[in-house]
Each structure stands twice: as C-alpha cells, then as structure tokens.
Structure 1
C-alpha cells in the first residue's frame, strides 16, 4: 500500500517574505518621506508626458533653426 505525501509549495515562504517586505517598505517610505516624494503610477505617467512634450518642443525648435536661411 503506497501513500502519497501531500505536495509542498516551495515558493510559499519566499512569496510571503517578499510580500511582507514590500508592505513594510511601503509603510516606511510613507512614514519617512513626504507624500510628494513618493513616486506613483500617475506621477510617473505625468513625468513621461512632460518629457515627451519637451522632446517634441526641442525637435520643433531644431527643425525651425535648420530651415532658416
């Protein structure tokens, strides 16, 4: 008669440690850093939009300078 041992998930402990660490880091960041200093998806997206606009303005300026006689 054979008994089958229950399967063990070897990733459970590392996932729990990573989850706990990420939450702890987030709480520490909010406690130690001003809210404006914390990067969010919205602030990252806005920074990208501003950078795209700045690059477009630089390209337009360069094109205008190159077209002048």
Structure 2
C-alpha cells in the first residue's frame, strides 16, 4: 500500500493554495499592507481592548463606591441627625 498522495488529492491542494495566495494579494491591494489582519495585530487589539475594559471597570467600581451609604455629605448629615436624636432619647430615659 502506497503512502504517496494520489494525483486527485494534489489538484485540490494546489488549487486551494493558489486561491489563498490570490485572496491574500487582493486583500493587500484593497486595504493596504498596513491594514492587513495578522495574528500579531489581532492579539495586540485584544490586549488593548482588555486594558480599556479594565480601566472602565475600575472607573465604574470607583463611582459605585462613592455612591455607597455614608460617602456623601448629605448621608453623613442624615446619619448624624439620627445619631443625635437617639442620644437625646437615651438621655431622657
């Protein structure tokens, strides 16, 4: 039994190779060499997107922490009023 590929298998491989070469050439002509998608460029764009998401996530977390009870001057004044009225009640009893 021969391990050599037959002629029928070689024809589609060569056609596919030529087609991929033509697509690559057309892409470079249409979008330019600087904008051709590569694995390195895809990876870098993914890293940049991850960093941007992390910055946005940190900003949202910071804003939410500012909104928690007791962080605003108004809520601190409310808490002080509640605390002072509780103190007055304790003094009365």
TM-score bracket for the superposition, by shorter chain length:
0.7 to 0.9
Whether 2:41 is the aligned partner of 1:43: answer: yes
Aligned alpha-carbon RMSD (Å): 2.3
Aligned length: 65
Per the alignment, in what secondary structure is the counterpart of residue 11 of structure 1? helix
Match of 1:12 among 10, 13, 17: 10
TM-score (norm 2): 0.57
Larger radius of gyration: 2
**Larger relative contact order, structure 1 or 2 (CA cutoff 8 Å, min sep 6):** 1
Greater CA drift, 38-47 or 52-61 = 38-47
| Structure with the bigger percentage of helix | 2
Q: By how many angstroms is 1:60 displaced?
A: 0.5
Aligned structure 1 segments of 4 or more residues deviating by more than 3 angstroms: 7-11
Q: By how many angstroms is 1:14 displaced?
A: 2.0
Unaligned runs of 5+ in 1: none
Residue aligning to 1:53: 51
TM-score (norm 1): 0.73
